Amino acid sequence: MIDRTTCLLPPIIMDWSDLIIGITWVCHMFVALFVPLFMMMLHVSMVIMWICEAIYSNFRSRRRRRRLSDLTAAAAAADDDDDRESCVICLTPYGAGDTWIVLPGSNHTFVHKHCVD
């Protein structure tokens, strides 16, 4: 048994109000520590998502540009008809003495002159 005369601490007398105050204090400390930690984690996750979105968007735009350049190169190769033997419009073969022209804006599309006029 503890001798109360030699004890340096005052006796602890608790009632329900002290218990409620203690629980309230613990809840406030939890909120005071949890909310800033949660907000910091939320901000960090948002920054990580923003970085991932920027990387993915850059990847998609580079892939789109590469695909577009591949398509234009393929179209230019397919449209390179300098040795074409027929008119692009009427599809009749060129004959001796036919007059043909190059369409403006396209240096390699040959048509009969009478097909354009």
How far apart, in whole angstroms, are the C-alpha atoms of residue 22 and residue 35?
20
Which of 63-67, 99-103, 107-111 comes out lowest in average pLDDT?
107-111
CA nearest to 108, candidates 73, 82, 78, 77: 82
Kindly state whether residues 63 and 32 are assigned to the same domain: yes
pLDDT for res 8: 62
Kindly state whether residues 53 and 22 are assigned to the same domain: yes
How far apart, in whole angstroms, are the C-alpha atoms of residue 1 and residue 16?
26
Question: What's the average model confidence in pLDDT over 17-42?
Answer: 88
pLDDT for res 38: 92
DSSP letter (8 states) at residue 92: P
CA nearest to 80, candidates 104, 105, 110: 110
Kindly state whether residues 66 and 99 are assigned to the same domain: no
Residue 28 covered by a domain: yes
The phi-psi region of residue 105 (left if phi > 0; otherwise alpha if psi is between -120 and 50; otherwise beta) is left
Q: What percent of the chain has pLDDT over 90?
A: 17
**What's this model's pTM, rounded to 2 decimal places?**
0.39
Kindly state whether residues 62 and 38 are assigned to the same domain: yes
- Coil vs helix vs strand at 100: strand
What's the total number of domains in the chain?
Answer: 2
Residue with the bigger pLDDT between 16 and 72: it is 16
When the pLDDT of each residue in the chain is averaged and rounded to a whole number, the result is 76
- Which residue range forms the structural domain that includes residue 66? 17-78
DSSP letter (8 states) at residue 12: P
pLDDT for res 61: 84
Kindly state whether residues 52 and 101 are assigned to the same domain: no
Give pLDDT tens digits for 38-75: 999 999 999 999 999 999 988 888 887 777 676 666 55
